[in-house]
Structure 1
Amino acid sequence: MKLRRPRSLGVALGVFMTIGFGLQLLGGPFQRRITGLQLPQSWIPSLRPTIKSCLARQQLVFLKTHKSGSSSVLNLLHRYGDKQGLRFALPTHYQFGYPKLFQASKVKGYHPQSSETQKPFHILCHHMRFNLKEVLRVMPSDSFFFSIVRDPAALARSAFSYYKSTSSAFRKAPSLAAFLANPRAFYRPGARGNHYARNLLWFDFGLPFPPETKTMRMIPHLPRDPNAFQLHTVPSGAGLRPLFQTITTAAANYEQPSSLAFSAFEPPSFIQWGLAWLDSVFDLVMVAEYFDESLVLLADALCWSLDDVVGFMHNAQAGSEQRLSAANKTAGTGEDRQLTARARAWNNLDWALYVHFNRSLWARIEQYGRSRLQRAVAELQARREALAKRCLMGGEALDPKYITDVRLRPFQFGSAKVLGYVLQSGLNQKDQEECERLATPELQYKDKLDAKQFPPTVSRPLRT
C-alpha cells in the first residue's frame, strides 16, 4: 500500500491503525475465508414435503449482535444443535469475555495442545466481540459465518432502555431524545459501558474505529460511493420491496445529509474498506426488519427445512411491537422522524453497516426470487402461528409476572420488561418437549446444553 507522507499526527495515527488492522485481517486466517453471496441449490418451499439436493450445513459461526433479534436466532440454533447432537463451543458463563475481543481460550473444553484428538465443535453462537483469528482456532475456516443487523434508530431505542443502568452515557441522560439532542454532553469514549451508546453493531463486529481527524487520507482502491440511501421501513411479510431507494448524485459534489451521512471524521473509504472485509468473511448477514425473509434465506443457504428455522421471538421487550408500529406510522413526520435522523447520524458506522447489508440482502432476494420468497415467508408464518396455538397459553408472549416456571422465565435486565412464554396445559410428552425447546430462554438453554455436553461429576442442581 503506497501512502503519502503524513501531514499531521492525526494522519500518522490513522495510517498506523489502518496498516495494523490490514495486517490482522489479511493474514492466513482471512485468506481461508470465502466471499459470500453465492447461494447453493436447495429446497423449494411448498406445502409438500421438502425436497433437498444439497447437504445440510452443520458447522456454523453466528455473531450474536446486541438488541437485533439475535436471541431468536440463538434459540433456533440451540434447538437444531440439540436435536442433531451437535457440539457447541460454549462460554464458561454466558458470554465470551465481552466486551473484550473473543479469545479461543474462553471456550469451555478447548485444549489447543491436544487439538488432534479433541472432538470438533459444530456451532459457535454466544455473545462475543468478533475476532476472526481466534474464532478460526476453534472453528473450521469453511464454517458458515452469519450475523444480523438492525436499523440503528430502532436499536438505539432498545439499547437505551435495556442498558441505561450499564452505560454511563445513558445513565446520565434523562431520555433518549435528550441524549441524541446533545450526545457529547453525556458520552465519553472508553467510559464504562459506553460501547452500548454508540455504534454498537460496528463494535460487536470487531471493527476498528477511525481516528477523529478530517485530514486522514483515503484508502487506495476503494472509491467514494456516489449513492445516498433513504430508508422506508416496511414490516416483515408486508409485501416485498427494498428498505432503501437509491438517489444518484454527482460524485464531485457528493455530500450526504447529516441524518444519513458518514461523519466528516470517518472517511467513507475507511468505512467501505471495513464493509468489504465483512463481505469476505460473512456468508450471510440477516436484517432484523426483514426477519422472516432473512430466515428463509438462511434456511436456503444452510440447506435446512423451514421447520428448522421456525420459532418464537425471544428477549423481546414489552411494548416493542407497539413502538415499532407507531414509528412506522409516523416515520415521515414530527418528533419521531427527528429522533430517527439523529440516532442514525450519531451511530453513523452502524448506519453504514445497515445500509450495506440491506443492499446485500436484497441482492440475495432478487437471486432467490421475490414470488418464491413470498410463498416461503407465508408458509413460515403459518407454521409459527400453528405452533403458537398448540404450545402457548394465550398464543403469544406474556408479561414475566405470569411465568412461574423458572425454566421458562427470561432474565430481566434494564427498565423494560422482557417477555416470555407459558405453555399450554395437557400437552402430550412429545409436544411438551418440542414446545419447551421453543419457549426456553437463551440462558436456561445454554445451561441445558452445558450440562448435556459436560455432565457434572457429582449430582447438583442445574444452574439458572
Structure 2
Amino acid sequence: MRRKLSILVFLFGFGFCSWVLIGNINTIYLQSNGETWKNEVQSPKTKEPTYTEPEKSCEPITKIMFMKTHKTASTSVMNIIERYAVKHNLTIALPNGENADQFNYPNPFHERMVFPLLHGQDHYDVICHHMRFNSQQVNRILPRHVAKYVTIVREPGKMFESIFDYYYDLVDLFHNVPSSSRENLDIWLDDAPSRINRGGRGGFWFIGKNLEYHDLGFSNMNEDANYLKLAAERIEQEFDLVMISDHFMESLILLKDLMCWDLKDIVSLKLNSRKGKILEQPEQLRRKIRNWNKADAFLFDHFNATLWRKVEAFGHLRMAQEISELKRLNGEFFKECVNDTGVVESGSKLFNPNGRLDLKAYAPKNNVSQICELATMGTLQISAKLRDNYKKQKQLLD
C-alpha cells in the first residue's frame, strides 16, 4: 500500500512540474514572439553604411598606354580609358590607316601609323587601339618613363573557344571543319598541328595559335620554354599591370589604384560579348586548347599568379569592399545611360563577321551625357567618332 502511494505521489509531482515547465516555456515563447513582432513594427531598419573611398595621397595619372589584345574584355577597358580621356580633354593617339580601330594590324606598330598632333598640341596622352606591340616605336609616341603601360590576358581555354567562334569566317585555317561549334573545335584541334605545319595556313592564320603572344609582339610559333620565360620577363619589365579578364573586377580596381583614379572613373558596360549563357567548358577540351596554345597558357598562368600577389598586397578586405561599391556604381550607371539592350546591327557598333554572331549592344537613353553616349558605343563606332572629331578640329585649325 505504502509503495503504491509513493508511486502516485511521484506521478503527481512529475505531472505538476511538467505542467509548470511547459507553461513557462509557452510564456517565454509568446513574450519572445511579441517582442519580435514589436521590434519588426516599431524598430527602424538599420541602413547599410555607404562606402567612402579613402583619401588619396597621389595625383591622378593622365598618360596611359593600353595594349589592347583580342577577345580579352579589352573593348570594355578601352572604353573606360577613352571616356576618361574625353572627360579630361586628353590627346588620344589615333590610327591614320584605313581602319579607325587599329594601327594597321597585324603589322608591328610604327609611329607613322598615328595621326599627327594638332596645332597647339605637344604630346600624346593615351594609346589604346589594337596594334601588334612594338616597344621601341610605341615609346616614340608615349615614352615609357612618363606613362603607365597596361595590357590584359585571358584564360586560354575560354579565350580560344571565343576566338574560334568569333573569327571562324575570317580565318582560312579554321575551315577544315564545317562550323564553329564546340564539337567542331574539338575535331579541329586534333588536326591543327599537322595542318599548320604542312603549309595550310591561309589568311589570318596567326589568329589560330597563341594570339596573345602574337599581339604582344612575339612569335606565336615559338613555344620553346626558354623563349617563353624570357618573353614573360620582358612583358613584366615593359608593363606596369597585366590585367586578367577572368578576374575583371579585381583587375579594374588594380588599374584604378595604379592610375590614382576614382571608382567612378572605371564604371563600365559589358561590351562586345556574346549574348546568352555560355556552357561550362569540358576539361578535356580545355586541356586540348592549352596544349595547342602553350605560349598563351604560359602567359596566363604567369600573370594570373602575379595578379593575385598584387591583390594580396592591396588587401583582400579592401578589394572586396571596392568591388562591391563598383558593382553598385555600375548598376546606377546602367540605369542612367541605357535605354534598351538588343542585337547589334551589322557594322554599326561592333565588328561582327558576316553578321552571324549574336552580340550584346546597348542603346543610350535620349538626351544623355556625352559620357553615357560613349559608354554604349562599340569599338568601331567610338573609333569612327574620335576620328571624325579629329578631322573636324584639324579643318578648323588649318
Which TM-score tier does this pair reach, normalised by the shorter chain? Answer: 0.7 to 0.9
Query: TM-score, normalising length from structure 2?
Result: 0.78
Match among 211, 216, 228 for residue 200 of structure 1: 211
Question: How far apart are the structure 1 equivalents of 2:365 and 2:220?
Answer: 48
- 2:242 aligned counterpart, secondary structure: strand
Once the two structures are TM-superposed, the CA of residue 127 in structure 1 deviates from its matched residue by 0.4
Residue 416 of structure 1 aligns with an amino acid whose one-letter code is L
1:21-420 alignment runs, 5 A limit: 47-48=51-52, 51-92=55-96, 93=99, 94-109=101-116, 119-142=122-145, 143-174=147-178, 175-187=184-196, 191-209=202-220, 266-319=223-276, 322-323=277-278, 326-327=279-280, 336-394=282-340, 397-400=341-344, 409-413=349-353, 415-420=356-361
Question: How far apart are the structure 2 equivalents of 1:195 and 1:316?
Answer: 22
Question: How far apart are the structure 2 equivalents of 1:310 and 1:96?
Answer: 26
Question: How far apart are the structure 2 equivalents of 1:54 and 1:154?
Answer: 37
Indicate conservation of the 8 Å contact 1:202/1:350, yes or no. Answer: yes
Q: Which residue of 2 aligns with 1:249?
A: none
Question: How far apart are the structure 2 equivalents of 1:126 and 1:439?
Answer: 17
Indicate conservation of the 8 Å contact 1:146/1:285, yes or no. Answer: yes
Once the two structures are TM-superposed, the CA of residue 60 in structure 1 deviates from its matched residue by 0.8
Report percent identity of matched pairs: 30
> Which is higher, the Rg of structure 1 or of structure 2?
2
Indicate conservation of the 8 Å contact 1:60/1:144, yes or no. Answer: yes
Once the two structures are TM-superposed, the CA of residue 448 in structure 1 deviates from its matched residue by 2.1
- Per-residue CA deviation, residues 245-284 of structure 1 (Å, 9 max, x unaligned), is xxxxxxxxxxxxxxxxxxxxx3322211111111010000
Indicate conservation of the 8 Å contact 1:393/1:424, yes or no. Answer: yes
Indicate conservation of the 8 Å contact 1:65/1:127, yes or no. Answer: yes
Indicate conservation of the 8 Å contact 2:210/2:220, yes or no. Answer: no
Q: 1:167 to 1:411 in 2, by over 3 A?
A: closer
Indicate conservation of the 8 Å contact 1:129/1:205, yes or no. Answer: yes
Structure number with the higher helix fraction is 2
Q: 1:273 to 1:393 in 2, by over 3 A?
A: same
Q: Let me know the Cα RMSD of the aligned residues.
A: 2.4
Q: Which residue of 1 aligns with 2:380?
A: 443
Question: How far apart are the structure 1 equivalents of 2:102 and 2:376?
Answer: 21
- 1:420 aligned counterpart, secondary structure: strand
Indicate conservation of the 8 Å contact 1:104/1:110, yes or no. Answer: no
Indicate conservation of the 8 Å contact 1:110/1:138, yes or no. Answer: no
Indicate conservation of the 8 Å contact 1:317/1:416, yes or no. Answer: yes
- Per-residue CA deviation, residues 24-78 of structure 1 (Å, 9 max, x unaligned), is xxxxxxxxxxxxxxxxxxxxxx723662210111111110000110000010111
Q: 1:454 to 1:53 in 2, by over 3 A?
A: farther
Question: How far apart are the structure 2 equivalents of 1:74 and 1:267?
Answer: 32
Question: How far apart are the structure 1 equivalents of 2:315 and 2:264?
Answer: 21
Q: Does 1:452 align with 2:385?
A: no
Aligned residues: 335
RCO comparison, higher one (Cα < 8 Å, 6+): 1
- 2:213 aligned counterpart, secondary structure: helix
Q: 1:422 to 1:297 in 2, by over 3 A?
A: same
Indicate conservation of the 8 Å contact 1:59/1:123, yes or no. Answer: yes
Q: 1:449 to 1:151 in 2, by over 3 A?
A: same
Question: How far apart are the structure 2 equivalents of 1:50 and 1:420?
Answer: 34
- 1:274 aligned counterpart, secondary structure: helix
Question: How far apart are the structure 2 equivalents of 1:49 and 1:346?
Answer: 44
Once the two structures are TM-superposed, the CA of residue 118 in structure 1 deviates from its matched residue by 5.8
Q: 1:153 to 1:49 in 2, by over 3 A?
A: closer
Question: How far apart are the structure 1 equivalents of 2:251 and 2:173?
Answer: 33
